[in-house]
A and B are shown apart, each in its own frame.
Chain A
Amino acid sequence: MAKILIVDDSRTSRRILRTLMEENGYTVVGEAANGKEGYDMCKDLEPDVVTMDITMPIMDGLESLKLIKQYRKGIIVIMVTAAGQQNKVMEAIKSGAADFITKPFEPDRVVKTVFNLINK
């Protein structure tokens, strides 16, 4: 089963995503609370999929995405965003993000997005 890394500064969002992933048979290999931690954990844990929040302290999701894609081009990065960040989502897609999901999470959509990308 695919290995997932969750990068989000909100512990509630991390907990919701972890629960959704685990309930659908995925293995969550790690959780990071900012983009820098996410990039470092990505190198250590070699996940198949990263869910990446956009607005985070220390290093935001866009910068982290760019570093991760430089490190491993084929990794699937799904951006996580509240409404109101369309420009950043567009920039993320241009920088190699595979798709995006919105907060508050709609469980079916989250699971479907991950499933579709892994089984592409």
Chain B
Amino acid sequence: MFDRIFGNYLVKTGHLTRKQLLEIYDEQECNRVRLGLIAVSEKLMTIEQVDEINKLQAVMDKRFGDIAISKGYLSNKQVDHLLNQQGNVYLVFAQTMIDNNYLSMSELEEILLKFQKDFGYTQSEMDILKSGDIDRIVALLLNMEDQLVREVIQMFIRTAGRLIDYHIFMKEAKEIEVFDSELLSIQELKGSHKIFSAISANEDAMMSIAIGFAGSRFIQDGEDSVDAMCEFLNCVNGLFATKKSTEQLEFDMVPPEYYLEQKSLTSKKMYVVPMVICEKEVDYIIVCDNDVTITD
């Protein structure tokens, strides 16, 4: 995620053009080797085992390495070895930028220090950002007390990263009472806690992320896109409910709904997390244990 956040910072501060940044991302993508491929080439797993895990990942909120361990295909030590082989996403990004002579190593270090100062991060927080560990990065960026809300957002980002766009990243979350939506997909969870979640975006963005999720042959208009994003919310919330069931928390999923016209959402305490998915801006809205009113 930090490659995206820092990449945008570089464009905003004039160190890179948008075109250069996109070129770096393309090249970086070509350089990224999937864990399964490394496992096969290192003869630690068979192609069939890798396929099996890829399929399981679509319905389980678990990393490739975790499933491989639980299936007995890999040991902890072997997963660590594969992760080392795969390399850190941010470092691949930095390396690509330097190899293309867009920035020198010393310029990069200088800009990183400026970034750290601009956002007030400590060195250990910078280390978290560069680590590639989504849960720790999200926790740092959200900087919120409410653990349940944080966990839902982490689940959303992990699931979107797996099912829609690996390069999803979030911006600063806001706590508000009123939110005016664009196209809107919503779902509620009821039970041990009441959790309302929603995705709002303009039609162009909603179409892009829906196509990323369901495929272009199934998404033809705005209504298809909000419907597909309802299904995506259903996946996120289902995975969240499964995870919390191990902590004796029970959730019932309410059928998701969508709105094609602008709505105003009101609640005592509502979090809005701007995200960039498939290069488009969308808002993820989350409310926990408070009522939400939806009006025209």
Residue ranges of A at the interface with B (Cβ–Cβ < 8 Å): 9-13, 15-16, 19, 55-57, 60, 81-86, 102-104, 106, 108-109
CB distance from A30 to the nearest CB of B (A): 19
- Which of the listed residues A15, A82, A106 has the most CB atoms from chain B within 10 Å of its own CB? A82
Chain A residues with CB under 8 Å of B93's CB are none
Chain B residues with CB under 8 Å of A108's CB are 55
Residue of B nearest to A106 (CB): B55
Q: Are A103 and B234 in contact (CB under 8 A)?
A: yes
Report Cα–Cα, A109/B234, bound state, in Å: 20
Report Cα–Cα, A82/B239, bound state, in Å: 8
7 interchain pairs (CB within 8 A)?
Answer: A11-B224, A12-B227, A82-B238, A83-B59, A83-B239, A86-B245, A106-B58
Chain A residues with CB under 8 Å of B163's CB are 104
Q: Are B55 and A83 in contact (CB under 8 A)?
A: no
Q: Number of contacts between A and B (CB, 8 Å)? A: 80
Q: With contacts A12-B210, A81-B238, A103-B234 known, what are 16 further pairs, Cβ within 8 A?
A: A10-B228, A11-B224, A12-B219, A12-B224, A12-B231, A15-B218, A16-B218, A55-B254, A55-B256, A82-B239, A83-B235, A83-B242, A85-B238, A104-B235, A106-B59, A109-B55
CB distance from A88 to the nearest CB of B (A): 9
Q: Are B242 and A86 in contact (CB under 8 A)?
A: yes
Residue of A nearest to B231 (CB): A10
Report Cα–Cα, A11/B214, bound state, in Å: 12
Q: Are A9 and B255 in contact (CB under 8 A)?
A: yes
- If A84-B241, A104-B58 touch, does A11 touch B227 (CB 8 Å cutoff)? yes
Report Cα–Cα, A106/B52, bound state, in Å: 11
Chain A residues with CB under 8 Å of B235's CB are 82-83, 103-104
Q: Are A84 and B231 in contact (CB under 8 A)?
A: no
- Give the total of B residues in contact with A, Cβ under 8 Å: 32
**B230: interface (CB < 8 Å):** yes
Q: Are A84 and B240 in contact (CB under 8 A)?
A: yes
Chain B residues with CB under 8 Å of A60's CB are 255
Q: Are A84 and B214 in contact (CB under 8 A)?
A: no
Chain B residues with CB under 8 Å of A57's CB are 255
**B156: interface (CB < 8 Å):** no
Q: Are B224 and A16 in contact (CB under 8 A)?
A: no
| Chain B 227-257 near chain A by CB (<8 Å), digits 1 or 0 | 1101100110111111001000001011110
Q: Are B231 and A104 in contact (CB under 8 A)?
A: yes
CB distance from B274 to the nearest CB of A (A): 24
- Which of the listed residues B163, B227, B256 has the most CB atoms from chain A within 10 Å of its own CB? B227
| Chain B 194-224 near chain A by CB (<8 Å), digits 1 or 0 | 0000000000000000100110011100011
Chain A residues with CB under 8 Å of B61's CB are 83
**B60: interface (CB < 8 Å):** yes
Q: Are B231 and A83 in contact (CB under 8 A)?
A: no
Q: Are A84 and B239 in contact (CB under 8 A)?
A: yes
Report Cα–Cα, A84/B163, bound state, in Å: 17
Chain B residues with CB under 8 Å of A81's CB are 238
Contact partner of A83 (CB less than 8 A), chosen from B217, B223, B238, is B238
Contact partner of A82 (CB less than 8 A), chosen from B210, B245, B253, is B253
Q: Are A55 and B255 in contact (CB under 8 A)?
A: yes
Q: Are B237 and A10 in contact (CB under 8 A)?
A: no
Report Cα–Cα, A60/B61, bound state, in Å: 25
CB distance from A44 to the nearest CB of B (A): 24
Contact partner of A84 (CB less than 8 A), chosen from B58, B213, B253, B256, is B253
